[in-house]
């Protein structure tokens, strides 16, 4: 009987592994392109205060590894691109690298993977022939040290290596890379390692010239008729992130590889950019993208192709990097500034205890700019009626009557309902005419519920069913090289159904 129970227990564990229930986590990249890099101990203090349990380093800095020792934080160390030549040409050099940067720190430092290079195939194609030898030599060293069962080896790719990424079912890898990708996928398959992929919906959106809606890039909920549908599989896509991840799965399947998981090693949204050329690099959009991303991943939502299978994901990145070259936004992808001060507020209701930079009690639900006035009026009527919001302050002569516009009155009612319902998931949607912001809309004597605000509800009422669930060094990321022109053009044409 005990044996049968043990076998049943193993069966349950195996089922959980297949469904990805144990793989849901969010990590953070730690870049160092800053004029004043925080001390390693400061970095680990910040990580622990924010309950960040997974990090990716762009190198294997011994001081940083020493600071991470005995913290329990899971760490991906990296072989910088400039070291590939030496390691890819010498088994002994690879063995020395592992001895110095892994064996010397493990298990005090919970190293879980080695990222070999970064976006080599798209940014330094002349180095491509060195990737597989480097990965094999490093694997040999892990095997010799009996660490191969604990530490995996892979290499982060730009999503630009995937061509015709929408519909995902038709995606395939750039065939000119087959000589590297085919043996690499077999290597990942044989070692149980993930395909590391950098996914940047921000750039896909920016390069689509308006064809990809901002809501689709930001994980905002879409009505069914606005979702992108893969005509071959009839799978519905509500965000760019899932579409790119599934494109990678389909591209691997095209090469007869179906059991290599995808790990997203970089994704995020800049919170500041040039006002004329990067108008959507804003704090509100960064908050929306990263908050929705965190919920999406931590809930093990999976993707349409693999629902319920978690996609481990690393946010780009922990700190703003003021010495990065390129456009203004390149310096402002951080969750924090160099002093550890939050770069913007995150709205993380429903994400658990990850990131203490959760300022949900300082967020507001407002009318979306440019929303249809008739839809706003209908939503306002519902909030003040079935929604049981106390709208008496909107009457003439009352504190929130002015300005007497449907947008202003709707903003008050939406926010009162949102806070009255505990800022729960889906309570700031109103058929798509409401949006969460960190900017307090209070004015004059009209105070909006927010931090320490009152509920302002006359009772309890749920929103109508239409309220969907709301959803290192300068070389470590190729500036702007995140999606191929061919892929973007194809995606733009096929996503045009979203605007019909």
- What mean pLDDT is reported for the chain? 83
Rg value, the chain, Cα = 24
- Residue ranges of the alpha helices (H) in 422-484? none
Q: What is the distance between the alpha carbons of residues 112 and 151, in angstroms, rounded to a whole number?
A: 5
Using CA atoms, how far residue 20 sits from 15, 306, 397, in Å, is 9, 10, 57
**Residue 254 near residue 215, CB atoms below 8 Å:** no
Looking at the predicted structure, is the pLDDT value of residue 459 above 60?
A: no
* Tokens describing residue 295: 């919920």
**Residue 139 near residue 88, CB atoms below 8 Å:** no
For residue 439, the model assigns a pLDDT of: 74
The one-character DSSP state at 100 is: I
**Residue 195 near residue 250, CB atoms below 8 Å:** no
For the question of residue 266 being annotated catalytic, the response is: yes
First CA to last CA distance, the chain: 61
Catalytic residue among 21, 82, 119, 227: 119
Looking at the predicted structure, is the pLDDT value of residue 452 above 60?
A: no
Catalytic residue among 266, 278, 317, 470: 266
For residue 364, the model assigns a pLDDT of: 79
Looking at the predicted structure, is the pLDDT value of residue 170 above 50?
A: yes
Of 334, 336, 362, nearest in space to 349 by CA: 362
* Tokens describing residue 73: 């934080």
* Helix, coil or strand: residue 336: strand
Whether this prediction's pTM lies above 0.75 is answered by: no
Q: List, for residues 109-154, the tens digit of each pLDDT value.
A: 999 999 999 999 999 999 999 999 999 999 999 999 999 999 999 9
Cα–chain center distance at 341: 21
- Portion of the chain with pLDDT greater than 70, in percent: 81
Q: List, for residues 349-389, the tens digit of each pLDDT value.
A: 444 445 655 544 467 788 888 889 999 999 999 999 988 89
* Helix, coil or strand: residue 415: helix
Residue with token string 């519909």: 167
- 219: alpha, beta or left? (left if phi > 0; alpha if psi -120 to 50): left
Using CA atoms, how far residue 273 sits from 8, 230, 480, in Å, is 54, 33, 14
Work out the average pLDDT over 425-448. 79
- Count of beta carbons in the 10 Å neighbourhood of residue 395: 10
178 burial class (0-12, 13-18, 19+ CB within 10 angstroms)? exposed
Looking at the predicted structure, is the pLDDT value of residue 482 above 50?
A: no
Q: State the sign of the Cα–Cα–Cα–Cα dihedral 204, 210, 212, 218.
A: positive
For the question of residue 119 being annotated catalytic, the response is: yes
């Amino acid at each position: 009987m005990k044996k049968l129970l043990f076998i049943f227990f193993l069966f349950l564990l195996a089922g959980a592994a297949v469904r990805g229930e144990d793989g849901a986590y969010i990590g953070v990249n730690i870049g160092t392109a800053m004029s004043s890099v925080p001390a390693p101990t400061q970095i680990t203090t910040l990580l622990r205060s924010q309950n960040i349990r997974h990090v990716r380093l762009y190198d294997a800095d011994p001081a940083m590894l020493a600071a991470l020792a005995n913290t329990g934080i899971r760490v991906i160390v990296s072989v910088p691109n400039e070291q590939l030549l030496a390691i890819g040409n010498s088994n002994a050099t690879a063995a020395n690298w592992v001895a110095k940067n892994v064996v010397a720190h493990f298990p005090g430092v919970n190293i879980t993977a080695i990222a070999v290079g970064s976006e080599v195939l798209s940014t330094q194609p002349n180095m491509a022939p060195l990737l597989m030898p480097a990965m094999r030599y490093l694997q040999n060293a892990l095997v010799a040290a009996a660490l191969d069962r604990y530490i995996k080896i892979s290499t982060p790719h730009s999503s630009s290596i995937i061509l015709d990424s929408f519909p995902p079912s038709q995606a395939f890898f750039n065939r000119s890379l087959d000589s590297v990708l085919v043996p690499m996928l077999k290597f990942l398959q044989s070692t149980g390692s993930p395909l590391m992929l950098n996914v940047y919906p921000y750039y896909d959106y920016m390069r689509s010239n308006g064809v990809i809606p901002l809501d689709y890039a930001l994980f905002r909920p879409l009505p069914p008729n606005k979702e992108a549908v893969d005509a071959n599989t009839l799978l519905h896509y509500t965000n760019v992130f899932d579409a790119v991840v599934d494109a990678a799965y389909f591209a691997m399947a095209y090469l007869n590889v179906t059991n290599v998981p995808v790990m997203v090693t970089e994704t995020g949204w800049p919170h500041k950019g040039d006002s004329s050329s990067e108008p959507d690099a804003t704090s509100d959009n960064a908050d929306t993208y990263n908050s929705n991303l965190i919920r999406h991943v931590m809930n093990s939502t999976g993707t349409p192709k693999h629902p319920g299978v978690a996609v481990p994901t690393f946010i780009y990145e922990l700190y703003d990097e003021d010495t990065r070259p390129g456009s203004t936004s390149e310096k402002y992808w951080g969750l924090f500034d160099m002093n550890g001060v939050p770069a913007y507020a995150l709205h993380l209701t429903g994400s658990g205890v990850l990131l203490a930079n959760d300022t949900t009690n300082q967020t507001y639900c407002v009318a979306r700019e440019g929303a249809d006035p008739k839809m706003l009026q209908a939503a306002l009527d519902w909030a003040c009626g079935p929604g049981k919001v106390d709208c008496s302050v909107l009457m003439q002569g009352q504190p929130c009557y002015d300005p007497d516009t449907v947008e202003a009155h709707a903003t008050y009612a939406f926010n009162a309902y949102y806070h009255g319902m505990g800022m729960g998931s889906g309570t700031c949607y109103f058929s798509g005419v409401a949006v969460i912001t960190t900017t307090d809309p209070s004015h004059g004597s009209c105070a909006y519920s927010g931090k320490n605000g009152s509920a302002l509800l006359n009772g309890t009422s749920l929103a109508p069913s239409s309220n969907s669930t709301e959803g290192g060094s300068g070389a470590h990321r190729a500036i702007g090289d995140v999606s191929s022109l061919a892929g973007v053009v194809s995606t733009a044409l096929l996503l045009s159904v979203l605007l019909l």
